[in-house]
């Protein structure tokens, strides 16, 4: 059985400012760095062998803190990037027009093929996220990888494993530096292949953590 840990990046300055990030970037806050350290302490005993991360700055910084504790190198994987939020990147939520807000909400309210102009759909994000996860099956036997990615991207991946459309109504909260785990296994009581063991665990955090709908 292959166990893969999924971690959302730590809190960023734009999370706090309620500014849309997408594939633009914002540095971690001091709280975000502390959150990443708490993840590192939580997984230090899990024999992590690979720390694989989105190549955006906020995930790289989170991954570097975790990798240092686990004694791993950081491996960059662009397919783990956040959804491209198109023309709304770098915008504060409070500045959106009614039409712009409808574009944004189309990514979380179940709208078929919802997208922001010049951005990605949840299905497109899910396709590359799933490919990144499947590549973990090529790691050496006994590997235990940890992937660092983003809220919307990770939700699309977990939805796909559960057999839900990537653009389903958003009913899963993944807070900053939450930990999820998916396993590739063959069980008589579960469907063969990928299953969700845990999703959105924040019991390792000793401070409040934002989700992407809060910032």
User: From the candidates 9, 50, 89, 212, which is the catalytic residue?
Assistant: 9
Which of 77, 82, 89, 120 is flagged as catalytic? 82
- Give the burial class of 162: count Cβ atoms within 10 A of its Cβ; 0-12 exposed, 13-18 middle, 19 or more buried: middle
92 belongs to the catalytic site:
no
Is residue 32 annotated as involved in ligand binding?
no
Cβ pair 154, 8 in contact under 8 A: yes
Residue 10 annotated as part of some ligand binding site: yes
User: Is 11 marked as binding a ligand?
Assistant: yes
* Beta-carbon-side half-sphere exposure of residue 6 (alpha carbons within 13 Å): 30
Q: How far is CA 188 from the centre of its chain?
A: 29
Q: Is 194 annotated as a binding residue?
A: no
User: Does the annotation list 21 as a binding residue?
Assistant: yes
34 is in an annotated binding site: no
Task: Determine whether the annotation assigns residue 12 to a binding site.
Answer: yes
Q: Is 13 annotated as a binding residue?
A: yes
Nearest to 85 by CA among 58, 130, 118: 118
Radius of gyration of the chain (CA): 16
Buried b (16+ CB within 10 A) or exposed e, 112-121: eebbbeebbb
Q: 103 a known binding residue?
A: no
Residue 64 annotated to the active site: no
Tokens at 42, concatenated: 């939580």
Dig out the tokens for 92 from the structure.
Answer: 């504060």
185 strand-pairing partners = 193
Do the annotations mark residue 130 as ligand-binding?
Answer: no
* 129: enclosing H helix or E strand: helix 122-134
Q: Which residues are annotated as a binding site for substrate?
A: 8-15, 21-22, 58, 60, 151-152
Catalytic residue annotation: 9, 82
């Amino acid at each position: 059985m292959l166990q893969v840990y999924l971690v959302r990046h730590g809190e960023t300055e734009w999370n706090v400012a309620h500014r849309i990030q997408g594939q633009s970037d914002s540095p971690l806050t001091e709280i975000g760095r502390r959150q990443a350290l708490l993840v590192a302490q939580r997984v230090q005993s899990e024999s992590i062998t690979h720390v694989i991360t989105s190549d955006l700055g906020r995930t790289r910084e989170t991954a570097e803190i975790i990798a240092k504790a686990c004694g791993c190198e950081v491996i960059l994987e662009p397919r783990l990037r956040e959804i491209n939020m198109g023309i709304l990147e770098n915008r504060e939520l409070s500045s959106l027009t009614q039409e712009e807000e409808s574009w944004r909400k189309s990514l979380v309210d179940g709208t078929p093929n919802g997208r922001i102009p010049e951005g990605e759909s949840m299905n497109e994000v899910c396709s590359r996220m799933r490919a990144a996860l499947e590549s973990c099956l090529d790691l050496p036997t006994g590997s235990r990888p940890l992937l660092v990615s983003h809220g919307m991207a990770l939700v699309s991946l977990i939805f796909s494993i559960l057999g839900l459309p990537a653009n389903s109504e958003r009913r899963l909260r993944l807070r900053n530096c939450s930990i999820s785990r998916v396993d590739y296994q063959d069980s008589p009581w579960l469907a063969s292949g990928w299953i969700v063991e845990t999703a959105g665990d924040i019991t390792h955090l000793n401070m409040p953590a934002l989700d992407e709908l809060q910032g």
